[in-house]
Structures are given as C-alpha cells and as structure tokens.
Structure 1
C-alpha cells in the first residue's frame, strides 16, 4: 500500500522559531526542534521557511536519489554576488558541470600529493614559532594560529611563491568578504545604504579582485607552462598554472573571470574550513587525554625523533581517525542547503519548488540510530571495519553525492600531515573550560579557543 505524503512537515510558528533562535542560537534551536519534531521539520522564519532534514536516508534522497530535483539556486545568491561569483561552490547547471570536469583532476588523491611539501614547509615554520610559545607560556588564540597556517598554505599552493605580505593581506581581505557575505544571509540593509561594513567589504573585494586579476594577466602574457610533474622534478606547478592550462572538451580554457572566481573559491573553501577543523582538533585532544595519549604513542612509535613525511601517513591511521572524528562532532560547515527546483519529497513530506532544504552534518553525525553515545569523542568510529558497516550518508562533513566538496582529499591530506608534524612535539592545553559551539555561517567556538602550547619533548 502506497502512503500519501503529508502536505507539510511539522514545526513551530514563526514567532516561536525566531524567539527560539534569539534565545538558543540557530545551532541550539535546530537541535531542540529536532528532538521535539523528529528528523524532518519546517523552520518558519517570517517571510520565508526551510525544511530541515536530519536522517541519513533523507540526505541520500536530496543528494543522490532525487539529485535532479535539487540544486544551489536562490539560497546561494549571496555567495555568488558577494564572494565567489561563478566559482565551483555556487555555480549551477552546465557551467558547474564544465568547471567540475576541468578541475576534478587537480584534486584527486594523486593530484594533491604534489603539494605535501608545501604543507610540511609551513608546518615546520609553525614548529619554530611554537618552540618560543612553549618556552614563554604565552596564551594564544588557536583559531588564529591555524588560520595563519592554512592561509599561507593555500596561497602558496595556489600562487606558488607569494610574498608573506601578500599572503597576510589576501587573508585579511577574503575574511572581510566572508564575514560580510555571512551577514547578508540574515536581515540586512540594502546595498545602497552606506555602512562601515559595506565600505570595508568593497575595499576588500576590490583589493582581492585587483590582486588576482593582476596575477592572471601577468601569466596570460607568457606561454602556458608545462603542468606535468616528472618524477624527481623540483618544480611543482601551482594550482593557478594548472587551472590556466585546463581545457574543456572543445579545447577552450577558462576565462579570466572564471580563473579569478575559482581562485577566490579555492582560498575560501581551502583555508577557513581546514583551519577550524585543526583548531577544534587541538581542543578535542586537550579535553580527551586518553585519545591524545594514544595519538602520541602512534606518532612516537612510527616516527621516533624525526619529522613525518607524506609516505609515513599510511602508517599513522589513528592520526587520521582523530581528524575524522573531529569532522564528525565539529564539522566546519554544520549546515548546507539545496533548493528544490521542482516538486520533491523529503522524509515523507511534500516539498514545493523553490523550498530550501537544509541538511545538517552536525546533527546527522549525532543521530543516535547511527552513532552509539554520539557526544563521546571516539576515533575508533573510523576504523575501516566501522566505516564499511555504517550508512554511507550518516557521515557527510564534505557533503555527499555529485556535489561533494572537490577539495575533500586536499583537506584530509593537509590535516593529517599537519597534525602529525605538530602533535609529535606539542600538546596544547585549553585555558578555561571546554568550548561552547555556535553557528555563524560556520561552526565557531563561543569566545574563541584560548590555549597554551606545551612541549612534549
């Protein structure tokens, strides 16, 4: 017997929804609604509403089974307008398919191995800084420490020998653009109203666009470099070299605007999220000393007194399991949206065309039907046997389906290698109690992550 879907999912009226968000924050309120209304519910926000889908089966429906019924439409207009333009994160349709096909070879596990040396160089520079911090006992903001590290890595990976001053300037400006874009997702004044935030955004945008367009114009003025990497070659072409050399099925390169938009996208997607993952990793290790002890034992056993190489990573499985467990409990993107492009069904409910459907790694990763004692930090959830036995969509920190994050292999390799380098020698300690988490576009620790860097050896 076929069941007719209910007309609309349950949920409180807009007044209660907005009051709950004001009191508990978006992250806290959605958790409360999940516990009250179940895996599929409607969040009504005044003039608009969205459907929240938590169950892994619904994640699969939206991302795979009914993928032609969902896309990144109106919900991504702000990101397109203020941040990434036609970059891969927000593009749609034929443009997205063309760009994904062009860029996919650059981000395969083999393709990103070439950049491991950059990861190591920046990690060793941070080791030197942390030697001083460990000696002085100075308290640092761990989020800022990791932001500086990943910003340098992504700029050097993208543009090769970028100057330190350029890296710092580009990081600051892109973060201004990200903050402004995040604010535009909520109630806001029209763009034509002069505000300090609007002026700062326009300065940052013009500086970033000008910098990138200048680099692209310089490179377009010279012959395209050879982007193959012969075995043993000391030269590794940067990502911009490889983007400029890419050709579609008709032999066409990317336009200068697309090269600019994809460069911003790579910086945005490859910098902030990885930094937040690494910062959360240090907090999780500090709060779970038994996990930290096991991680340190693995590093000591495999590496001894020498720093790791990329070849060592296959012998450091628990180190990677720690990263994956951090991504489970503290995914940098706790929510992401897909817009219904036609009538669809989610969780047994009808979803009208144009309805945003929000998926939540943060809460799917805490679903008690798929995760035993879900709030406990336990890297053994990611042994090969445990991963094989789990619902494929119970874990989706990088999204899932055809729009899975193209940089997922890059992020995992970078995080795995950086943690191995730094945890071999240091064990940062929390200053104050365990952090509380909130959603501000991305997952953030309320009040930051003040920590003291302690030397292990």
Structure 2
C-alpha cells in the first residue's frame, strides 16, 4: 500500500498561503492518514495514525534514524548533543544521562523551580498594581530559562540568563532558517551570519568559562548541579569522562530542550485557561482546597491531580513540537504503508492528538480526558507530546514537574486574561508559538 502523492507545487503553494501547520492539516483531512510529497530529491511522508507512531518509534525503529533532517540543528545549534546524536554515541550518552532525568532524579531541582516561581509571583503582584500588561510568552521564557540555567550551572544571574537566552534564540533561528533559505557560507560577513557567530561565540565561551572554573576547584566543592553530574559521569565500558566538546554540546542541548518547550507549554496553559472559565474555576478550587494559600511543595503535587490534567491537556492540544522527523535508512512497512529508504517520515503530535477516531470532540479543551478510565483505555501512542520509544525526550519528567509546580504557584494567586483586543495567531517555526507573542493582563484572583 502506498501513501497518496501530493504534487510538490500544490504542497508548496498551500504552505506559502496557509502555513505549514494548517496546510498539512488540510491535506490530512483530504487524503487520510498517509500522504507524501517529493520536493527535488527529498521525499516527505506524513503519517498521522497512532499505529504509525508506534511502529516508527518502536517496532520498526531499526529502519529509522535522526539523519539528514537533523543536519542543520547539529551543525548550527547542538553539535553532538543527545537530541541529534545517533548510533553508539547516542546510546552511551543516553545511558549516562538517563539517571539524572528520572522522575525521582528531577525532584532534586524542585526547590529551584519553586524559588523562581515565587519570584515571578512577586513580580506579578507588583504588576497587578500597575497596568498589569505582559507578553506571556516572554514571562514564561524568562522563568524557564532561569530554572534550567540555575539547575545546570548554579550561578546564573539575571543578566546572564537574558544574555544566554537571547543568544540561544538566535542560534535556534539560524539553524531553523537553514532549511528554508539559501545559506551563505559562514565566513561571508552578512548581517545574518554575524548575528549567528556572535551568539554562538557567547554561548560557547560562557560554557567553556564555567567548565574551566569548575575544574579549577576541588571536586568536593563542586555544586550539585547538572553540569557537575555531566562532568563526573563516566562511560561504564571505558571509564572515560565526556570530552570538553561533548560537555558543551550536552549543556546547549539541555538548555535548548529544557526551557523553550516548557515555556511554550506554560504560555499555552494561560491562553487555554483564559478561554475556558469552567476549567479555570476547577483549577482554582483544587489549589485553594489543597494549599489554602500557602506555596506548594513537590510533595503536594500528587494531591493536585486536576492541575496536572490541565498540563496534559495543554500538551495534547498545543504540543510545543507539532512535528518531528525520522529518516528511513531501509525500506519499511509502517501501518500498512510502504516507506522507501531515504524517505523522511514526519510524525505529528499536533494532528494525531486531534485524530477523530481516537479523541471525542478533539478540538475541545477538556482536562477530564486524563486521570480516569478514558486515559487508561487510550491507544498507547495516540498521545506523544515528547515523541515516543527509546528516543522519547529525556527531559519529559523535568518538564512535567516544572509545569505542574509553576502552574500551581501562579494560578493560586493570579488569573491572567487576554489583553483587550488581542487576537493571538498561531505560528510554527520549528516549535509552536504565537506569531506576535501573547499579550495578557495580570489580575489577582
């Protein structure tokens, strides 16, 4: 069985007119769960059924890798960091880093998350006495950047957080643009190249300085942060530590993957709560009943199930990574579809999470989908906001803990609403976001 072929001219025209996200959704509704397009030498195949998610990520995973689709992000952003590495390097790094990111392992950072959430709460308290206007995208990006940098390096300052956040954002833009525009060689001093090189030099230099400072003191005095754990990790087969380059690449990868997607999730949460007063009221009622006005701790979270259900439903409707790619290294059969070698398969949490065969009223924000029999009866991969299988995002437990805690701290005191006249527009540039931010007003409950 073959996927429906979409003419390249039609596909490109739809993407230019409607954007990648809406174009692929229209093609899915028109052609079903499998369609492909050939653009030059590249063949893209879109597979939307949960069975395809299972097979590409698990049962047929030996036929797929993170190949050419990740060349840009490897070359210009994360190097050989875990998100883009493959083969034996990925297996070794994943095994070394996995213990740091288990549900139990990430609780070591809950106090940092709480402290940053409380500082933001104090800022919002002051804002509520003024005009209360914020760009919620910026608010969530700054707090999650602070959390991950402090978790990684212990000594992050407000100025360094903003500086590194902006530099990594520039690197992300550049690595994403390389698949869309003709890239002028880096030595050519175009404005775009100069911005990228300056950002990369700042990020690489900052990490190198932190590592050098760490190595200049006795190991017994190293802080218990992610960088120390990476520096102390040893390959069980060889006893070798990570190289300086790999330490840098994993640090960039952790920062990139550890704050941007969570920032998006929290931004979307405020948008969803503003638009769904019944869910907002239930969230507030749970927080009031359990916390009684005091700040939560990590131990409180199991008594805040509806708060987590809100997070899960946000991740269903608004997954920060709406698509992810896998490159076929051999012919494969996936969900009854022939996938030829050298095909790039595009899997879509965004559209699979809206599949009408697996979700009742799929476009409705409904946190009650989670936590009961409905969740227990789900297809194992109709929900995959962090991808799936062995290459599921290693930071998923960190992100869920962070989102759960920050939402609990902030929502018990505040109920942000959309700024008057705001008409947020979705935009996909690698990750899902609002085209011009999310203007909101901070209001106390």
Local SS of the residue matching 1:306? coil
Separation in structure 2 between the aligned mates of residue 71 and residue 220 of structure 1, nearest angstrom: 35
Match of 2:346 in 1: 358
| 2:51 equivalent to 1:57 | yes
Deviations 1:367-390 (A, max 9, x none): 001100000000011114222110
Give the alignment of 1:253-332 within 5 angstroms.
Answer: 253-332=241-320
When normalised by structure 2's length, the TM-score is 0.97
- The CA deviation at 1:217 is 1.8
| 2:212 equivalent to 1:217 | yes
Match of 2:143 in 1: 149
C-alpha contact 2:35 2:45 (8 A) present in aligned 1: yes
Separation in structure 2 between the aligned mates of residue 76 and residue 263 of structure 1, nearest angstrom: 18
Give the alignment of 1:43-442 within 5 angstroms.
Answer: 43-192=37-186, 193-225=188-220, 237-249=224-236, 250-431=238-419, 432=421, 435-442=424-431
Separation in structure 2 between the aligned mates of residue 173 and residue 448 of structure 1, nearest angstrom: 19
- The CA deviation at 1:272 is 0.6
Separation in structure 1 between the aligned mates of residue 21 and residue 155 of structure 2, nearest angstrom: 40
Q: CA RMSD in A?
A: 1.3
Could you tell which deviates more after superposition, 262-271 or 338-347?
338-347
Local SS of the residue matching 2:427? strand
Local SS of the residue matching 2:134? strand
Local SS of the residue matching 2:219? coil
Separation in structure 2 between the aligned mates of residue 383 and residue 198 of structure 1, nearest angstrom: 48
Match of 1:230 in 2: none
Give the paired residue count: 442
Deviations 1:45-64 (A, max 9, x none): 34422000100000001000
Separation in structure 2 between the aligned mates of residue 390 and residue 398 of structure 1, nearest angstrom: 17
- The CA deviation at 1:187 is 2.7
Could you tell which deviates more after superposition, 282-291 or 378-387?
378-387
- The CA deviation at 1:67 is 0.7
Structure 2 gaps of 5+ residues are none
Separation in structure 2 between the aligned mates of residue 121 and residue 283 of structure 1, nearest angstrom: 24
Separation in structure 2 between the aligned mates of residue 362 and residue 205 of structure 1, nearest angstrom: 31
Separation in structure 1 between the aligned mates of residue 382 and residue 23 of structure 2, nearest angstrom: 21
Pick one of 9, 17, 27 that aligns with 1:15: 9
Local SS of the residue matching 1:136? coil
Pick one of 435, 440, 445 that aligns with 1:446: 435
Separation in structure 2 between the aligned mates of residue 140 and residue 191 of structure 1, nearest angstrom: 38
Separation in structure 2 between the aligned mates of residue 433 and residue 218 of structure 1, nearest angstrom: 47
C-alpha contact 2:422 2:439 (8 A) present in aligned 1: no
Separation in structure 1 between the aligned mates of residue 286 and residue 219 of structure 2, nearest angstrom: 44
C-alpha contact 1:340 1:357 (8 A) present in aligned 2: yes
When normalised by structure 1's length, the TM-score is 0.94
C-alpha contact 1:127 1:422 (8 A) present in aligned 2: yes
- The CA deviation at 1:399 is 0.3
Deviations 1:160-196 (A, max 9, x none): 1222222121111111101111111213233244421
Structure 1 gaps of 5+ residues are 228-235
C-alpha contact 2:128 2:444 (8 A) present in aligned 1: yes
Local SS of the residue matching 2:192? helix
C-alpha contact 1:40 1:346 (8 A) present in aligned 2: no
C-alpha contact 2:6 2:35 (8 A) present in aligned 1: no
- The CA deviation at 1:218 is 2.0
Match of 1:27 in 2: 21
